[in-house]
Amino acid sequence: MVFQYVIAAVMLVLISGLWRLQVVGAQNYREMAEANRIRKVPILAPRGKILDREGRLIVDNYPSVSCFLVRDQGHDIAADLPLIARGLHMTVDQIQEILKRYRTAPKFQPVPLKQDITPDEQGFIEAHLDELPELETIDEERRLYPNDGFAAHLIGYVGEVSEEMLDDPQYAAYEPGDVVGRSGVEESYDAMLRGVDGSRDVIVDSHGREVGVLGTEPAKPGKDLRLTIDLDIQRAAENALGDRNGAVVALDPHTGEILALVSRPVFDPNKFSVKIGREDWNRLVTDPNHPLLDKAIQAQLAPGSTFKIIMSVAGLQEGIAENLRVDCQGGATFYGHFFACDRRHGMVDIHNAIPLSCDTYYYTLAQKLGIETIAKYAHELGIGEKTGVDLPGEVSGTMPSEEWKLRNFHEKWYAGETISVGIGQGAVAATPIQLARALGGIASGGVLKRPHVVFPGELPAYYRQAVQDSYPGSGDVTVPIDASNWEIITEGMASTTEAGGTAFAAHLDGIDFAGKTGTAQVVSHSAGMDKISSSVAQRPNAWFVGMAPRRNPDIVVAVLWQHGGWGNVSAPIAASVIEAYVDKQRRLHHNLVADTSKPVKDVMTKPVEIGAVWSKPPASEAPRGSPVPALAAIDAGHFRLKPEGE
C-alpha cells in the first residue's frame, strides 16, 4: 500500500509538471524556444572615398556605432519603449514613428533606431542587455565631409533612402534604412561608392545574447572615386567667392574636366550623414537664398552682356557684324521704344563693341539678325540646352524663339522683343556652367566639350554609358567659326581686361587673361542702375566669364554674383582663380625642370602663341611610365606643355 501511495504521488507530480510545461506555460516556452535561433547580423559596407585629381582626400569615413531594434525576441517591445527612449535621448513618439515605417518589413530585419550613438548611449545598452534584449549595436563607417561646407554642392550628401525613393524602380535593390547618395557626386555615382553589405550568421539564446557564430559573409567596400577637381583651384574659387550669393565654375575647355565648382550660400553635408534635424531642415528649405540649390548648374538667370559673345559669333558668321558701325549716343530707338545704353560710346564697330560692351551696337545687330538666327547659334553653343554634366538636377535654361513663345504662351513673337535678347536680357536664361562651356568653346575655335567631374576613362564602359544616358545633354559638339572671326572675338575679349575695357580692374600682369563682363538687370534699366547701391534685391546680377590664354584656353572660369551690381565686380573673382591656376602650373614647371631625373626634352625656341599658359595633360590620358611631355614654347614667362610629337 505504501508503494502504491508513493507511485501515485510521483505520478501526480509528473502530471502536474507536464500540465505546467505543456499547457499552462506552453506559449511562454514556445516563444523562448523560438528565440533560440540563428540571427543574421548585417555588416555594413563602407562607402568609397572621394579624391581630387591628384589623389588627395576630399571625403572620408569615420567609425560609428548605430543602435538597431530586433523585433523577433518574443518580447513585449511596447512596454520597454519609455526606458529605451530615456536611454537613447529620444521620445516615445519618435520610436513609434520609426516602427510604423517598418511595420511591413520582415520581423527578422533589424530596425535602425538611432545612428551614431554616443558613448553614454552605448553604455546604457550594455547595462540593460538582460532587460532590453531587443536592442543591438552595429559598427559602421559614416561619411566625414570637409568643414564649412567646402565643395558641398559638388560632393552632395548621403541620407536614409526615403519611402518615395523605394517606390522608384531605380532603387529596387535598396531596403528601408539603407544609406544612399542624395545629391551631387554622392548621388550620381552612388552605385560605385556604395559597396555591398555583408552579414554574420550568429546563434543567440532566449535572452538575445550571442552564443556562437555559424559563418560570416564580409562586406565589399565601395570603390574610391577620383574627381577632375583640383583642390588648389577649388580652394581658390571658394575663397574668391567668399560669402557672396552666387556660383563659380572653372573647367578645362580642351577636355570638359571641371576643375572647381562652388555655389553660395552653402550647407553642411555632415548634418545629413547621420539624420538632419527637423529644425535644421526647415531652416534650409525656407532660406530665401536657397542654400540647397547648386547655382552652378541650377541657377537660370539672364546672362546679360556675356551673351554678346554669342551674338558676335552669329553676327560675324552671318557676314553682318564685320562691317556694322553704330553711333552710340547712350541708346537708340527701335520699333517706337527707346533702348538705353549705359553711356555714350560714339562710333562703335565689332572690334571695340566687345571690350566696351556697347548695348546700342548689339541692339542694332539683334535687329539685323532676327530672333531665329540668334536662337540657332545660341542653341548650337548650348544655351537653352543641358550640357550633360554628370551631376543631378542640371537645368536647361531658356533660349526664346518664335516657336518657343507660341508653344509656351500661345502668342506671336514681336520684333521688339529681339532687341532685349541681343544683350542677354528678355526671356534668355542661362546657367554658369552653360556660359563657361559656351564661351570657352568659342575661344577654342568652336569646339565644345561635355563637362564632367569624374574621368570617363576610369569608369567601366557600361557605367560610362549609363552616366551619359542618365544625364543627357548637348555633349561634345563643334560649331564652325571662321579663323578670322575667331581672332576678332578673342582679341575683343582680351581687350576687355586691358585699359579701356569693362574688366580692366581685373587685369593680370604677365598673364594672357581674356573675358567678358555681364550686368543682367532684375528690374527696368533705369531703376536697376539707380539702385545699385541702395536696394540689394534690385541690384543687377553680376556675371563674368574669363579664360587664359585668350585663344585655345587651358582654363575658363564663369562667375555669377547674384545682385552684385555691375558685371566688372565679378571679374576679380575669376581673375583670382585663374591666377591661382597659372601660379600652380608655373610651380609645376619649375619643379619639372629642377628634377633632372625626369626625361625632359629640349625646349623649342619657336613660340607657339604669345602669352600661352602652360598646362599638363590630364592624368587619365597619360599612361603610367610614359615620358614627361616636352615643353614646346617659352615666351615672357608663360609656358605651354605639349605631348611629345606635337
pLDDT greater than 60 at residue 592: yes
590, part of any domain: no
Give residue-wise pLDDT tens across range 178-192: 788 989 999 999 999
Give a yes or no: residue 171 inside a domain.
Answer: no
What is the reported pLDDT for 74? Answer: 60
Residue 640 · residue 609 · CB < 8 Å: yes
Between 105 and 630, the higher pLDDT residue: 105
Would the pLDDT of 374 be above 70?
yes
Q: Of 302-306, 345-349, 403-407, 609-613, which range is least confident?
A: 609-613
Residues 627 and 642: their CA atoms lie apart, in Å, by 12
- Residue-level pLDDT at 616: 36
Residue type, 532: I
Cα three-residue angle 193-296-513, rounded to 5 degrees: 115
> Tens digit of pLDDT for each residue in 53-64?
999 999 999 888
Question: Which of 560, 583, 606 is the last residue before a domain boundary?
Answer: 583
Please write down the HEC assignment for all residues of 512-563: CCEEEEEEECCCCHHHHHHCCCCCHHHCCEEEEEEEECCCCCCEEEEEEECC
Contact 467, 437 (CB under 8 A): no
- Is the confidence at residue 571, as pLDDT, over 90? yes
* DSSP code for 593: H
**pLDDT over 80 at 624, yes or no:** no
129 belongs to a structural domain: yes
Q: Pick the closest to residue 188 from 392, 363, 15, 344 (CA basis).
A: 392
Beta bridge pairs of residue 544: 517, 559
Share of the chain above pLDDT 90, in %: 57
Beta strands 225-226 and 50-51, pairing class: parallel
Residue 534 carries which side chain, given as an amino acid letter? S
Considering the domain boundaries, does residue 285 fall inside one?
A: no
Q: What is the pLDDT of residue 623?
A: 34
Clarify whether residues 129 and 149 are in a common domain.
yes
In a domain, 167, yes or no: no
The amino acid sitting at 585 is Q
Distance, CA of 521 to CA of 139 (rounded, Å): 54
- Angle 557-472-153 from CA coordinates, rounded to 5°: 45
Mean pLDDT of 92-115: 82
Do 340 and 422 fall within a single domain?
A: yes
Please give the average per-residue pLDDT across 442-470, as a whole number.
94
Q: Which of 155, 238, 240, 248 is nearest to 436 (CA)?
A: 248
Residue 395 shares a structural domain with residue 422: yes
User: What is the residue range of 554's domain?
Assistant: 231-279+294-583
Predicted TM-score (pTM) of the model is 0.80
Residues 6+ apart with CB under 8 A from 558: 247, 248, 249, 432, 433, 435, 436, 439, 543, 544, 545, 574
- How confident is residue 502, by pLDDT bands cut at 50, 70 and 90? very high
Q: Pick the last residue of a domain from 537, 560, 583.
A: 583
Name the phi and psi angles at 547, rounded to 5.
-155, 160
Split at pLDDT 50, 70, 90, the class of 629 is very low
Question: Residue 70's pLDDT is what?
Answer: 80
Residues 308/357, Cβ–Cβ less than 8 Å: yes
424 and 500 co-located in one domain: yes
Which pLDDT score is estimated for 627?
31
Measure Cα distances from 546 to 211, 473, 578, 586 in Å. Answer: 67, 23, 8, 19
307 & 209 share domain:
no
Query: DSSP letter at 612?
Result: P
Q: How confident is the model at residue 411 (pLDDT cuts 50, 70, 90)?
A: very high
pLDDT of residue 271: 86
Q: Which three cell numbers stand for residue 276?
A: 538632419
What is the 8-class DSSP label of residue 626?
Answer: P
pLDDT digits (tens, 9 = 90+) for 238-293: 999 999 999 999 999 999 999 999 999 999 998 887 677 778 888 888 888 899 99
From the list 208, 180, 184, 204, the residue with the least C-alpha distance to 194 is: 180
13 and 27 both lie in a single domain:
yes
In a domain, 423, yes or no: yes
Give pLDDT, residue 33.
61
Q: Please determine, for residue 644, whether its predicted confidence score (pLDDT) is greater than 70.
A: no
Q: How confident is the model at residue 31 (pLDDT cuts 50, 70, 90)?
A: low
pLDDT of 150 above 70: yes
- The domain tally of the chain equals 4
Beta strands 57-69 and 111-114, pairing class: antiparallel
The confidence score (pLDDT) of residue 628 equals 31
pLDDT exceeds 80 at position 350: yes
pLDDT confidence of residue 214: 78
Looking at the predicted structure, is the pLDDT value of residue 547 above 50? Answer: yes
Report the chain's mean pLDDT, rounded to a whole number.
85
Which pLDDT value is given to residue 52? 95
Q: In this predicted structure, what is the pLDDT of residue 97?
A: 87
Out of 583, 610, 633, a domain closes at 583
**Residue 508 reports pLDDT greater than 80:** yes
The continuous run of DSSP H or E covering 41 comes out as strand 37-43
pLDDT number for residue 544: 96
In a domain, 170, yes or no: no
Shared domain check, 87 and 11: no
* Vertex 453 angle, CA 142 and 243, to 5°: 75
Regarding whether 634 and 557 lie in a shared domain, the answer is no
For the segment 94-113, the average pLDDT, to the nearest whole number, is 81
Q: Same domain for 68 and 201?
A: yes
Cell numbers representing residue 439 in the block: 564661351
556, pLDDT greater than 50: yes
Tell me if 442 sits within 8 A of 383, measured CB to CB: no
pLDDT at res. 241: 95
The reply to whether 395 and 429 lie within a common domain is yes
C-alpha cell at 519: 550686368
Least confident window among 91-105, 200-214, 313-327, 580-594: 200-214
Compute the distance between CA of residue 113 and CA of residue 372 in angstroms, rounded to an integer. 59
Query: Would you report the helix, strand and coil content of the chain in percent, each value rounded to 5?
Result: 40, 20, 40
- Do 205 and 265 belong together in one domain? no
* 314 and 335 co-located in one domain: yes
Q: pLDDT-derived band of residue 305, with 50, 70 and 90 as boundaries?
A: very high
The answer to whether position 25 is within a domain reads yes
What is the model's pLDDT at position 605?
Answer: 29
* Among 19-23, 147-151, 579-583, 635-639, the least confident range: 635-639
pLDDT in tens, 380-400: 999 999 999 999 999 999 999
> What is the number of alpha carbons within 13 Å of residue 364 lying toward its C-beta?
20
pLDDT above 90 for 213 = no
Helix (H, G, I), strand (E, B) or coil at 57: strand
pLDDT score for 467: 92
